[in-house]
Copies of this chain bind each other. A is one copy, B any other.
Amino acid sequence: MSAREHLITAAKELLWERGYEAMSPRAIQERSGAGQGSFYHHFASKADLATTALGEVAAEMQETFNAALHTNKPPLERVRDYLRQPREALRGCRLGRITQEQALSLDPLRHFVSSYFLYCKQEIAAALEQAQREGAISATIDAADVATTLVAVVQGGYVLARASQDPQQMDQAIHGALALLDTIERR
């Protein structure tokens, strides 16, 4: 692996562990094994490296999301699969965390985050609409609203888990959402 790739890998780790502001070029260099010279040879700035790193993170997260939502299962089951995906609740969301940082003002970074959430919401809404057409769930609910709610539950689950330093908070939030989903199902 080249120095450039080592730097990106280190940045992805540190963005998750500490966030953008708290990720110093020094720390990136130490973790990657690359020196100052390599850093500023391959990237114009810390923001530049972070953009590359977060882009990779966004791509990975979208793939993970698709693994749950793009299967041959019935649509409502695919939504449940998304909710039930394993998550490292205490580490927080790799994209959502940017949301609470000054770095949110860096447009390229924010773009990755908002695009990811938009994608999740749209795919979940599409699945819910399909479930409605198939008569699996109530036709009166607003699929887009509920899709947003479900994505919010996951993000909120991270917040609650970190606040109490208890990963079960995420599980509880997810279980509650699954229970509510069961209720709109027609049997």
Contact = CB atoms under 8 A, between A and B. Distances in A.
Nearest to A176: B149
A76 B111 CA distance: 38
A114 to B, nearest CB: 4
Given A159-B155, A159-B156, A145 B176 contact: yes
Q: Per DSSP, are chain A's interface residues mostly helix, strand or loop, or mixed? A: helix
A97 B96 contact: no
Nearest to A19: B100
A15 to B, nearest CB: 12
A154 interface: yes
A122 to B, nearest CB: 13
A177 B184 CA distance: 12
A160 B183 contact: no
Interface of A: 18-19, 21-22, 92-93, 95-102, 104, 110, 113-114, 117-118, 138, 141-142, 144-160, 162-165, 169, 172-177, 179-181, 183-184
